[in-house]
Structure formats: C-alpha cells, structure tokens
Amino acid sequence: MKTLTRNVVENWGADGERWLSGLPALVDEVAAEWDVRVLETYPMTFHWVAAAVRADGTPAVLKLGVPDGHLDAEAEALRIFDGQGAVRLLAENAAKGALLVERADPGTTLTVADEAALVEVGHRLHRVPAENRHLPHLRTLRGGFERYREGPIPRRMVDRAAELFDDLCAGAPRETVLHGDLHHGNVLRGRDGEWLAIDPHGWVGDPGYDGGAMLYNPDPERREPELLALVPRRIDMLTAYEERERVIAWGYVMGVLAELWTVEASGQARSRALDVARRLEPLLD
C-alpha cells in the first residue's frame, strides 16, 4: 500500500487522499454490487487491484481508481479489443472508478526473455483502426511538454522531443487503437497459453507510440548499464512492424515524456527513461 499511497497522493492530491480514506468501504460496496468475493490483493501502483471470484465461479480481477474519469478509456479500449490480445472487460462502474476484468491465468508476467511476444501482442492490438472510436488522441499528451518550465531535464531535450512528437503524430503512416502503456508488467500469460495485455490507457494514434515503453521497462527505476544495453536489440525487434527511424524517434520522445511525468509527480528525474533518451539522441541525426 505504500507505493499506492505515494502515487495516488502525488498525482491526485487532496482528491487522492479522500479516495484512500474511503477505499475499504468502496471495496465492500463494489463487491456487493457485482456479487464477487474479493481474494488477495496484487502489487499496486496507481490503483487498488485484487483477485476476485464471481458468483458463478468465474475468476476475475477487481480494479479501483480515483473516479476522475481516467479509467473510462481503459474500459473502452478493453471493449474494443474484445479479448483479442487483451483480457476481457466484465463490468464497469465509471462513477465509482471500478472495473471488473478477466483474470489472466496463470498470470505469469512477461520477462525480458519473452520480449518478442511483447512486440507481437502490440501488433495484435494495433489491428483496430482509429476511426469512430470514443478514445482520446495521442496529441492530448502534448501537455506534458508544455507544462514543463525548468528542472532536472535539459530544456533542449524537452524541446526536441516535443517537436518530434508533433512530427510523428502528423506523419503517422496509419492510426489505430493503442494500448498506451504496453510494457512487460502489463502483459500476462492467460487463457490457452496466450499472452494478454492488461491495464490499457486507451488512445488512438500512431502505433509506433506503443513501442516506446518497451525501451525503458521493466523496472524503470533501475538504471544499471546492462539494462540500458538492451535498447539496440529491442529496437531491432520493433522494426518488424515499424520503420527504424520512427522506432528510434518514438523511443526518444517517450523516454523524455515518461521522465517529465516522473518529475511532475515527484520533482525528481529518477528513471531509466531519460537514460534511454540520451542513448538514442545521437541516432536522431
């Protein structure tokens, strides 16, 4: 709960504190509404998450978040994916910030050794065209660059990433429904041995965006040189479906943007995302 508490307060302030104080009662209320039995909790970062069982015995996962609408896009993305490359949505209560989703079983987390599967999951999800989808466009994320004034990230990197972000969005060869946070911890072994994505953010735009998070995950707060050394191999994997130049550019953009989010929440630049961006910067020319 320490990580959950820290992240919720950093990101939602007083609203987050109120949500945390009411969380035990909310769990009981939602469990009764959907007639589920709540089991053990999972490691939590920004949401309260626990295994659950429906009245008919179906295994599920109960997910609760601050009810500010940020889970609406996740629910919509899961509806659109419809179990193809992602877990299924079983129930939603937007007003309470609650989702009930399929539980991936056995739920093995994708590791560095399985990264080819991560690329393939992304490719499966990107089959859905962006047209007529009730999801925000990637361009919404530009505010992350605009809000930054000064701090531990060099201004030249922020400005260059913002410019590249605009160019990549404008020049997208196609636009699809995106996961939005596609990394190792968000892909689990599920039904029939398939790798299934969980926790989509739900965007539409250039599918190259989804490759960026792979370059600085898993465990982005670890900054050992051997982890940074994985970047070239990962770029090679992603070029199976995207142009190398765009893979590198999105990697740079996402490295900077992810670090901007970290600085915005904590005041510190503390992750491998910025290290990845620095490594990719010479390759942009």
pLDDT top residue among 266 and 24: 24
Q: What is the mean pLDDT of residues 24-36?
A: 98
Q: Which residues are known to be catalytic? A: 181
Residue 242 in tokens:
């995207």
Tell whether the model's pLDDT for residue 285 goes beyond 90: no
CB of 44 closer than 8 Å to CB of 61? no
How large a percentage of the chain has pLDDT more than 90?
93
How large a percentage of the chain has pLDDT more than 70?
100
Please report the domains of the chain, with CATH numbers, ordered by start residue. 2-102 (3.30.200.20), 112-284 (3.90.1200.10)
Distance between alpha carbon 188 and the CA centroid of its chain, in Å?
14
Q: What is the mean pLDDT of residues 26-55?
A: 97
d(CA 213, CA 191): 25
Tell whether the model's pLDDT for residue 35 goes beyond 90: yes
What's the pLDDT score for residue 223? 94
- Model pTM above 0.85: yes
What's the pLDDT score for residue 209? 98
Alpha-carbon distances of 45 from 11, 70, 127, 208, 263, rounded to whole Å: 11, 15, 29, 25, 17
**Which residues touch 245 (CB under 8 Å, ≥6 apart)?**
none
Average pLDDT, the chain: 96
pLDDT in tens, 71-103: 999 999 999 999 999 999 999 999 999 999 999
Listed range (118-122, 131-135, 143-147, 258-262) with the worst mean pLDDT: 131-135
Tell whether the model's pLDDT for residue 54 goes beyond 80: yes
Tell whether the model's pLDDT for residue 19 goes beyond 90: yes
Tell whether the model's pLDDT for residue 51 goes beyond 80: yes
d(CA 220, CA 214): 10
pLDDT in tens, 224-274: 999 999 999 999 999 999 999 999 999 999 999 999 999 988 888 889 999
Confidence of residue 211 (pLDDT cuts 50, 70, 90): very high
What's the pLDDT score for residue 212? 96
Tell whether the model's pLDDT for residue 182 goes beyond 80: yes
